[in-house]
Amino acid sequence: MFETLISFALSTAALAISPGPDNIFVLTQSIVNGKKFGIATVLGLMTGCIIHTTLVAFGVSEAIKANENIFLVIKLFGVGYLLYLSYLVYNSDAKIAFSTENVEKKSTLELFKTGFWMNILNPKVTIFFLAFFPQFLFSKTTSTVIQFYVLGGIFILVSFFIFSLIAILAGSISDLIKKNENVGVYLKWLQIVVFVGIAIFILLPESK
């Protein structure tokens, strides 16, 4: 159980560190508006994750109750989607590009709302949760809904910590990215390793 949760937390941390639209948005808002504005954005994003966790928790749990074989289909879908994501990352440009030009100054409440709706209105988040979370269910006796919320809580806490660090260290991180072109390459391959590693983990007999 604990090994599974630790693996989940480490995978979440690697994904949170990898450059994407959410953490780049937090970074630019922090540089333009200030640290607390970046953290307000993070809070909005993480609040949106609660909604996605709820949708996946109840949806998958009901599917498993209806037919246990559906869970195997969900696991295979997870493998396929994670490998597809790793393929997309492999073909993407490793260069991290962000611009603070024309970034509008907003209040903390406005940025909270922006982060929330960015997350809620992105169907890819729900699809990712559907592919990612079920692979780390850790108990045959505990309710799957409770397990999903535990995983969602870990995901939110780990992501909040890392995204908040990005907001607080925005200036230093942007300088590092500008000075070291290899940062993007390292993060790109970290993301690929995580996606493929989770896909392999799903296919191991112990994970079934």
Q: What confidence tens digit (pLDDT) does each residue in 110-143 have? A: 999 999 998 998 878 888 888 888 888 888 888 8
Q: Which of 155, 127, 153 is nearest to 55 (CA)?
A: 127
Residue 100 has what pLDDT?
Answer: 63
Residues 83/195, Cβ–Cβ less than 8 Å: yes
- The burial of 44, by beta-carbon neighbours within 10 Å (0-12 exposed, 13-18 middle, 19 or more buried), is given as buried
> What does the pLDDT average to over 52-70?
82
Q: Which of 51, 42, 23, 37 is nearest to 121 (CA)?
A: 51
> What does the pLDDT average to over 152-169?
93
Q: Is the pLDDT of residue 101 over 70?
A: no
* Cα gap 165→201, rounded to integer Å: 29
Backbone angles phi, psi at 151, to 5 degrees: -65, -40
- pTM over cut 0.85: no
* Cα gap 164→40, rounded to integer Å: 9
Q: Which of 75, 83, 79, 54 is nearest to 144 (CA)?
A: 54
| Mean pLDDT over each residue of the chain, to the nearest integer | 84
